[in-house]
Amino acid sequence: MTSSPTVHLAAPQTHGQPKRALVLPGGGLRLSYQAGILVALEEAGLSFQFMDGTSGGSLNLSMLLSGLSPEETCQRWRSLNLADTVSFLPLKEYLHVETLEGVGDADGFRNKVLPHFGIDFDRIHQVDAVLANYNVLDYGNKAVKTIPHRLIDEDMVIGGMSLPGVFPPVRKEDSIYLDTGFVQDANLLEAVKHGAEEIWVLWGLGNTGTYRGGVLNLYVQMLEVSANTALNNQLDTIRDLNARIEQGVGPYGQTRPIQVRVIRPDYPLPLDPDLYLCKINHTTLIEMGYADGKAYLRRLDELPAEIPANPTHMHDPLQGIRFQAPLQGKLDLLADQSDAAHDIQINLTVHVNDVNRFIAGPEHEARVTGHLSGSIFGSLKMIEEGRFTLECLTDKTRRIVYALSYSQDGQHYNLLAEQVLHDDQGLDLWNDLSNLSLNLFKVNAEASELVANGTLRLPLGSVKDWIQSFHVTETTGLMEKLSVTTRFARSILGGVYDAHI
């Protein structure tokens, strides 16, 4: 008799703990963000008794059910060749616009993406460790169809990701199947029917008050309206159920009110075209999801038990700028008597979500995500929390500090990297820009202990990548992009900018 395949994040309910459900909604290829949250949940020791996937979220669900760990899932996203996701219809079909069912087909996903992700349907069918459902739209009956993991197949995963106008629908057994995105993008009520008392929703679609024109924006906004409205309606239903549960007449076996945990970004994630245009990559999205997951877990005990109204609501997108800092250096452990310095690499992404606030504000702060690598860190370590701070010492002197926190073997550490930009006589600007001092602190409840110091630098060979990584967000037209870039550069460099640029 063979044992049930292992599923990470799945475990039987323990005494005194709520029955948990993991809901993985859609959101396109941006859902590498979701994989980063999964790593944070596993590190927190959370386990689930029910899982549900919709649209692109079914890819992450399928990887988990196929036995991949959250970290392995992240690695599959990092190494995904985006060209493999693109597959065109036969040329003759584009000549008949009046009958065209999509801008491409799903052959790339069938033949390349699903195998790359290690999705194994035979293995999924054997899973006993957790109950899981997939969601597709039964077009003929105009209803969401839920498919247990023991019955899921490649056709239904593809059908569940076939947005109207993007991929043709999947025709199978006299039925037509599509993505449920224009009906709902997460199925919380299915989790409720399976007795869930705590539902964790890893949300990636946007939800703001900004309304834009343009074909792509209008299409995406229709999806966002449908998905968020459906979610809020489901939450209203759960609130009504909670009132019945408190009266002892809950219909699905819950003995305590159902709690809903929604982890989402503070600002909308970039759309899929930004991935294809290299304005962002899956590594960055994963690290954003990991940091957001960690931030949510840190404040978990402070969150109210009541289900919040419109919990996926985000800040309206504003003019901003995003860039990467690929740094290398050496770190000396103070307790190491061998005088051997450890080689390290630190890859950071700075997210200035509101460039006007960054420039005008007294603190000049921005968010940082990224990862650390090198033998001293063991395996790759994603940053749990990071801040980029600019301090204007004088008009010609600026101090920049990267404050980064991570954990290793249950111990928390803070890493501070600092550089000073000063307009000395001579051409020393590059030296200031490319060199940083480094201090590593072990964080305890009582105090922080300095355990290592060293230096970092921006290697000359990485300058091209560093420059190309600068992307202005929420602007229209070249002149507006140049204006934002210039104002940001002047705020960073001060008098150095006017003297040298």
The answer to whether residue 379 is catalytic is no
- Pick from 136, 215, 146: which is nearest to 170 by CA? 136
- Residue 486: count other Cβ atoms within 10 Å of its Cβ: 12
Q: Is 42 helix (H, G, I), strand (E, B) or coil?
A: helix
Whose structure tokens read 């000396």? Answer: 332
Asked if residue 18 lies in contact with residue 191, where contact means CB atoms within 8 angstroms, the answer is: no
Which one-letter DSSP state was computed for residue 83? G
Whose structure tokens read 């760990």? Answer: 69
- Residue 363: count other Cβ atoms within 10 Å of its Cβ: 11
The residue type at 100: L
Among 55, 66, 462, 491, the active-site one is 55
Return d(Cα 231, Cα 238) in angstroms, integer.
11
Widest CA span in the chain:
79
Asked if residue 159 lies in contact with residue 172, where contact means CB atoms within 8 angstroms, the answer is: yes
Return d(Cα 133, Cα 151) in angstroms, integer.
9
- CA torsion through residues 134, 137, 138, 142, sign: positive
Which residues are registered as beta bridge partners of 313?
none
The residue type at 23: V
Element (H, E) at 467: helix 463-468
- Pick from 69, 58, 387: which is nearest to 202 by CA? 58
Alpha helices in 352-477 (DSSP H): 355-360, 429-434, 463-468
The answer to whether residue 55 is catalytic is yes
Among 105, 120, 179, 272, the active-site one is 179
Asked if residue 125 lies in contact with residue 100, where contact means CB atoms within 8 angstroms, the answer is: no
* Token digits of residue 313: 């609501």
Which residues are annotated as catalytic?
A: 55, 179
